[in-house]
Amino acid sequence: MLDAPGHVAVEGSPVAASGGVPGNSWALVDWRGRETGVSGVFDDAGKATLPPLKAGYYRLVGESRIPSLQSPNSPSLATLAVVPAPESRVMDHDSFYGIDSAQSWVSRPGSFKCPWNNGDTYRTVSDLIRLSGLPHVRERLGWSHVEERPGAIDYGHYMANADLLHEREILVSGMFHDAPKWAGRLKKLPSDLNALYEFCARTSAAFGDRMGDWEFWNEEDIGFAPEPVWDYAAALKAAYLGFKAGKPDGIVLPGALCQRPGSGYARALFENDAGKFGDVYNHHIYFPISEYPKDFAALRSLLERYGVADRAVWITESGTHLEGTSEKDGAKEDMKAHTPDQELVVAEFYAKSQVAFQMEGVARDYFFVFGAYNEMRGAKDWGVMRRDGTVKPIYSAISAMSARFRSKCRRR
């Protein structure tokens, strides 16, 4: 184990490793498996000190355990991401780059091994996002969690996470897609639109400048809102007006659609006047990069048809299934993990997708997802983090790209 939380170190700082076999040799290789010239021997306590390193992604390997240092899949004692010092990074809130952290849900205590910060998973994740240089995260909130009885609101760990991120100059995109029973749920949407308005107004005022924007609902065109589209449109209008009442200059997004752009649901939403109740157009994309030009052409056509062609487009979730089903046993039972090869596939996809989105005019992207997270009964490993608390190669790709490329977010 390395003493750096998440196994992320800052350029120019030494890193201590522990847990090695006393007397065994070790070496550091880069992400391609190439020798770096850094090596040594574990002392009698099984410890070693790595010298200051340049930004990049490395593997600490035991030389006696591998046939060759030229393979990136050599058994690793540890992985290490090295990033520029935080003070050298400008947290540009006009940046294109963001990450879906969902940390109030995904990174609850026990979600991953956390021997750092006295086991504080929320602080550890917030620190790692800051070290990556990302200025934006997408978060979650549960209305039914924070207002179990009408008027009795306790934001609890949701506000604590917003504070942690705000202290690190990270702007939060907030979202909820639930309603308490007392708000008269139809199926999932609330029927009490006055209660919805009041909650949104009170919440946007309470969180204030911690939040860069609020989204109302999530993927309502699939199972998250099984009600007819006009019920969602009515709720969106109440939520939008509430968010604006609490913070008039705040940005409000409709819930992201995830079907192909120009779907019947999207057209029906605009036909119900939803275009007047959003400052940004919001979508989720998990399609292959080769299909982006076709999909964004359809999206531009949709926005033009309904008179909002100048509206900024944000992708509040993006990702891939390109690496296939996770093939490695994970640190948590029944939760599979990526192999080193699969991790590299996702890192490569990330870099290419970010360029492709910007070529299509996307103003901001939130890659899904930062914390350790599995779906498909544990077979799909989504996280930038592993269940052992360390970061994958994509973390270094995120750090490098967010430092070198900028794109201005436009508002209508």
CATH code, 64:
2.60.40
pLDDT recorded at residue 410: 39
**Residue 403 pLDDT greater than 90, yes or no:** no
Residues 251 and 207 in one domain: yes
**Residue 333 pLDDT greater than 90, yes or no:** no
Rounded to 5°, the CA angle 217-127-357 comes to 50
Residues 70 and 146 in one domain: no
From 62, 83, 104, give the residue that closes a domain: 83
Domain count, the chain: 2
Enumerate the β-bridge partners of residue 149: 152
Going by C-alpha positions, the residue among 295, 337, 212 that lies closest to residue 303 is 295
Residues 13 and 130 in one domain: no
From 83, 104, 137, give the residue that closes a domain: 83
Residues 247 and 113 in one domain: yes
Pairing relationship of beta strands 336-337 and 364-368 according to DSSP bridges? unpaired
pLDDT recorded at residue 411: 40
Residues 53 and 171 in one domain: no
Are 412 and 312 in contact, with CB atoms under 8 Å apart?
A: yes
Residues 71 and 113 in one domain: no
**Residue 385 pLDDT greater than 80, yes or no:** yes
**In which domain, by residue range, is 15 found?**
5-83
Q: pLDDT band for position 75 (50/70/90)?
A: low
In a domain, 15, yes or no: yes
Residues 168 and 259 in one domain: yes
Compute the average pLDDT of residues 399-409: 68
**Residue 40 pLDDT greater than 90, yes or no:** yes
pLDDT recorded at residue 202: 98
Going by C-alpha positions, the residue among 144, 163, 162, 166 that lies closest to residue 153 is 144
Residues 272 and 388 in one domain: yes
Residues 194 and 47 in one domain: no
In a domain, 164, yes or no: yes
pLDDT recorded at residue 135: 97
In a domain, 411, yes or no: no
In a domain, 412, yes or no: no
In a domain, 409, yes or no: no
pTM: 0.94
Residues 187 and 319 in one domain: yes
From 30, 60, 83, give the residue that closes a domain: 83
